[in-house]
């Protein structure tokens, strides 16, 4: 990796303890020791791109997704799985044919079948959308190491550990509610001044809406998942008489798009009852 301070190329033995052996300065992230293979220069480069070199404020959740896109788009089956199995199958097959060894032929056939299965799994995209590090683990892992080393979040970032309450319009000036359960997205919108500029109150739960803004339309911003689509229905059932606008991503708008990168959280997989309720609508 490249030292973020002196720009020297460092082999692993030259950066023990995340300290450059040339300039003697410490850095935050080593690509060999974190699941997303991050290093300081990559984080700064991605942050600069997302913030448009400081013109836009972003959040840790958005940075996590941007840094994860490359791995989210990959299948769990890589060429590192396929090629060794293919090579071993060919070698054992040649040896088995040359020496008329039945056992090696059987092993070769099994390895060829395994290789075929791996290739088909890769073409089918098995494992796409599964990450080695969740957003929460990113916040308590690499980002915490960054704060420990540099004393603050990367430049141009707003903290999203709590749902934003500051910057909300006064009760008399509120015209609508934006229901957004994701604190990272809400923090991004608050940092951009959207609530005050448009008289929009940010809400994270449906039950809190009447107290925050007793009347006016409710705009629901949600993920393209089961919970997100059911949130729209919950808002309409809980707030009869109020306009509820679905501003989330529709499944049909991203289905089949090559650039659309899925994220699958195994801990949040919807059960059969949830899917039945979703299907009924």
Summarize pLDDT for 73-109 with one digit per residue, the tens. Answer: 664 545 555 566 555 555 555 555 555 556 655 666 6
Q: Which numeric CATH code is attached to 171-261+270-280?
A: 3.40.1360
pLDDT of residue 77: 44
pLDDT digits (tens, 9 = 90+) for 217-235: 999 999 888 888 899 999 9
Q: At what angle do helices 183-191 and 60-72 cross, to 10 degrees?
A: 120
Residue closest to 195 by CA, chosen among 240, 217, 165, 237: 165
Half-sphere exposure at residue 175, Cβ-oriented, CA atoms within 13 angstroms:
6
Residue with tokens 């940075």: 63
Q: Is the CB of residue 177 less than 8 Å from the CB of residue 219?
A: yes
Percent of the chain with pLDDT over 90: 47
Q: Would you tell me how many other CB atoms lie within 10 Å of the CB of residue 153?
A: 18
Residue 149 Cα distances to 28, 75, 103, 152, angstroms:
6, 33, 57, 8
Residue closest to 154 by CA, chosen among 162, 142, 146: 146
Domain range annotation of the chain:
12-73+130-150, 79-124, 171-261+270-280
Non-local CB neighbours of 69 within 8 Å, separated by 6+ positions: 261
Beta bridge pairs of residue 183 = none
Q: What is the pTM of this model?
A: 0.76
Q: What is the mean pLDDT of the chain?
A: 83
């Amino acid at each position: 990796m490249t030292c973020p301070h002196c720009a020297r190329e460092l082999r692993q033995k030259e950066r023990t303890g995340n300290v450059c052996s040339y300039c003697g300065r410490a850095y935050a992230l080593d690509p060999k020791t974190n699941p997303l293979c991050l290093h300081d220069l990559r984080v700064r480069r991605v942050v600069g791109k997302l913030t448009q070199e400081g013109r836009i404020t972003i959040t840790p959740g958005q940075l996590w997704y941007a840094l994860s896109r490359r791995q989210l788009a990959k299948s769990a089956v890589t060429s590192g799985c396929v090629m060794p199995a293919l090579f071993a199958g060919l070698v054992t097959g040649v040896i088995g044919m040359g020496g008329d060894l039945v056992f090696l032929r059987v092993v070769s056939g099994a390895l060829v079948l395994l290789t075929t299965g791996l290739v088909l799994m890769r073409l089918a995209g098995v494992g796409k959308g599964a990450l080695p590090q969740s957003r929460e683990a990113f916040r308590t892992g690499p980002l915490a190491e960054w704060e420990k080393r540099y004393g603050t979040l990367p430049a141009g970032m707003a903290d999203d550990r709590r749902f934003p309450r500051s910057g909300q319009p006064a009760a008399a000036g509120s015209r609508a509610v934006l229901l957004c359960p994701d604190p990272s997205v809400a923090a991004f919108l608050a940092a951009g001044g959207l609530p005050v500029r448009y008289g929009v109150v940010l809400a994270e739960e449906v039950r809190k809406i009447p107290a925050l803004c007793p009347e006016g339309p409710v705009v629901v911003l949600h993920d393209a998942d089961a919970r997100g689509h059911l949130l729209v229905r919950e808002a309409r059932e809980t707030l009869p008489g109020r306009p509820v606008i679905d501003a989330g991503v529709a499944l049909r708008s991203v289905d089949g798009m090559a650039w659309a990168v899925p994220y699958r959280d195994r801990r949040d997989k919807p059960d059969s009852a949830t899917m039945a309720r979703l299907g009924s609508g």
